[in-house]
Amino acid sequence: MKIHQAEFIISAVRPDQYPEDALPEIALAGRSNVGKSSLINRMINRKNLARTSSQPGKTQQLNYYMINEQLYFVDFPGYGYAKVSKTERQKWGAMIETYLTSREPLKLILLVIDVRHPPTKDDQLMYDWLIYYNIPCCVVATKADKIPRSKWDKHLKVVQQTLNKRPEDPIVLFSSETGMGRDALWETILSFCHD
């Protein structure tokens, strides 16, 4: 996919701040530090449009990025970071639940998982939540560059089994470092936008 426009739009904390133009939205959920913002940057081939950090728990709002005047990436705050207070966690839960249950332009969630490790309890809860709300989901197993190619299949299997992934939900092996999986993921995203 050729990117001719990519722009940060807003850090939204309330639904009345979400864009009103009804472009399709692709949201990214995943643990703190798993690589959600890096994935966005790789998908649009910009080094630093989506803010990345080696400090977990930094993204606290829904960050909207408009791509090719055609769709939005919505970068969720990461979950599962131990040092986040209970109040913050509850705020996160309420914001995400409102978004998931009422956001009409939402077309697909990218559930971003670290391919090196089995999905955590939080990853499993997130996936079960998506199924419960009937939200289309693509599992993205990222950081593939961090394990040898010979282990990819085995690790992908563990990810799918631990999540109890439904066969109809696609899974893409990805690396923000090398760009592996970028074309396959764009293809998946566009197919859900056009449905």
Binding site for ligand GTP (CB under 6 A): 30, 32-38, 52-54, 56-59, 78, 142-143, 145-146, 175-177
Using CB atoms, what's the residue nearest to ligand GTP? 78
Reduce the DSSP state of residue 148 to 3 states and report it.
coil
Q: Which residues bind Mg ion (CB under 5 A)?
A: 36-37, 59
Place of tokens 């299949």: 153
Give 38 or 188: the residue with its C-beta nearer to ligand GTP: 38
Distance CA 153, CA 60 (A): 34
User: With CB cut-offs between 5 and 8 Å by kind, which of ligand GTP, Mg ion, none does residue 38 bind?
Assistant: ligand GTP
Distance CA 39, CA 41 (A): 5
User: With CB cut-offs between 5 and 8 Å by kind, which of ligand GTP, Mg ion, none does residue 90 bind?
Assistant: none
User: With CB cut-offs between 5 and 8 Å by kind, which of Mg ion, ligand GTP, none does residue 160 bind?
Assistant: none
Give 59 or 160: the residue with its C-beta nearer to Mg ion: 59
| Cross-sheet strand order for the sheet of 171-173 | 6-12, 62-67, 71-75, 25-30, 106-114, 137-142, 171-173
Q: How far is the CB of 36 from Mg ion (least distance, A)?
A: 5
Distance CA 135, CA 101 (A): 9
**Exposed (0-12), middle (13-18) or buried (19+): which is 143, by Cβ within 10 Å?**
buried
Give 36 or 165: the residue with its C-beta nearer to ligand GTP: 36
Using CB atoms, what's the residue nearest to Mg ion? 37
Give 69 or 153: the residue with its C-beta nearer to ligand GTP: 153
